[in-house]
Amino acid sequence: MRALNSKEVNSLRLYPDPECTSLKEKMTRYYGVLPENIYLAPGSDDVLNFAFSAFCDSTTPAFFPDITYGFYKVFAELYGIKYTEIPLREDFSICPGDYYGIGGTIFIANPNAPTGLALSLDEIESILINNRDNVVVIDEAYVDFGGQSALALIDKYDNLLVVRTFSKSRSLAGARLGYAFADKKLISDLDLLKYSTNPYNISRLTLAAGEAAICDNDYFESMRQKVISTRERIYNSLCALGFDVIPSKTNFLFAKNNRIDGGKLYAELKKRGVLVRHFNGERTGAYVRITIGDDNEMDILIQKIEEILEETK
């Protein structure tokens, strides 16, 4: 809030810096990459949008897991790109070998949504080694909550695009700020799309908020740790209530209880003023995805679930 001061508001009469120089400089120091390896966008959805547009076409199809972030399919359909959804294993994990030598552009959320499961860095690297001629997009929206980042691999693999966001672990979803790390050739493809459509697509206020977020590492660490410790506490509470909960590396839990269907639990919680997410589908229908809120919110959630389970006895 201090960064979004009246001086910043007063400068709204001016266009923002399209190259985002000052924010990139701070990110360069923080992440140990060069400015030419960073792309900034109004949210990581915008990076993904450009990645589908830049790295897929009629001869380059898209490949992604059958259970993953729903927007991959939306972008593929929007651009008329052929896509294949690769089934997750029975335990909802991604099988890296399914992606070797695939002949198209790969999109993997790591950790994955809504499962919360992550691939190791070695597994990601095995996908990269076996796809030298294909672009591999690793969507790390949730990586700060316990996953291993592929950022260190961008110098080794010029086919890797690592996509990140300020929306989750930096608590700035409303500011709309996403980014990507990659070899400069991939970054310049994204830049070409940006400069050919909307060069000033990140506002001055958002840039100022992003700079402040990068500079306040203590705040970032304390919020991140808080989410992780609340997640672990709620994991245990749900297990104690008879839920099967997938161990999560994200800021949400994917859980089912044999006593109540996922759709019914979603509806009962909604009636009581608590929103979780439910995904229809043969394998996901039994589950709900519960985002980690503050301790008070999570205590209310547990209390409401206890009530609902009591009623369905």
Which range of residues in 42-50, 120-128, 265-273, 291-299 is near ligand PMP by CB under 6 A?
42-50
What SS3 class is residue 69? coil
What does the alpha-carbon distance between residue 223 and residue 28 come to, in Å, rounded to a whole number? 22
In what order do the strands lie in the sheet containing 252-256? 244-245, 252-256, 287-291
Which residue's CB is nearer to ligand PMP, number 110 or number 134?
110
141 sits near ligand PMP (criterion: CB under 6 A): yes
167 sits near ligand PMP (criterion: CB under 6 A): yes
Task: Build a one-symbol-per-residue string for 98-137: x at contacts with ligand PMP by CB under 6 A, - elsewhere.
Answer: -----------x---x------------------------
43 sits near ligand PMP (criterion: CB under 6 A): yes
Task: Build a one-symbol-per-residue string for 197-236: x at contacts with ligand PMP by CB under 6 A, - elsewhere.
Answer: ----------------------------------------
110 is written with which tokens? 């790591």
Q: Tell which residue, 226, 273, 274, 275, has the closest CA to residue 251.
A: 226
Which range of residues in 43-51, 95-103, 215-223, 254-262 is near ligand PMP by CB under 6 A?
43-51
44 sits near ligand PMP (criterion: CB under 6 A): yes
165 sits near ligand PMP (criterion: CB under 6 A): yes
Which range of residues in 40-48, 75-83, 234-242, 289-297 is near ligand PMP by CB under 6 A?
40-48
118 is written with which tokens? 């992550």
The letter for the amino acid at 167 is: S
305 is written with which tokens? 């679930």
| Least gap, CB of 129 to ligand PMP (angstroms) | 24
What does the alpha-carbon distance between residue 290 and residue 235 come to, in Å, rounded to a whole number? 10
> By the 8 A CB rule, do 245 and 254 touch?
yes
271 is written with which tokens? 């009636």
69 sits near ligand PMP (criterion: CB under 6 A): yes
172 sits near ligand PMP (criterion: CB under 6 A): no
Q: Which residue reads 């304390």 in tokens?
A: 222
> By the 8 A CB rule, do 67 and 115 touch?
yes
Q: Helix H segments across 102-152?
A: 121-129
Residue ranges binding ligand PMP (CB under 6 A): 43-45, 69, 109, 113, 139, 141, 165, 167, 173, 178
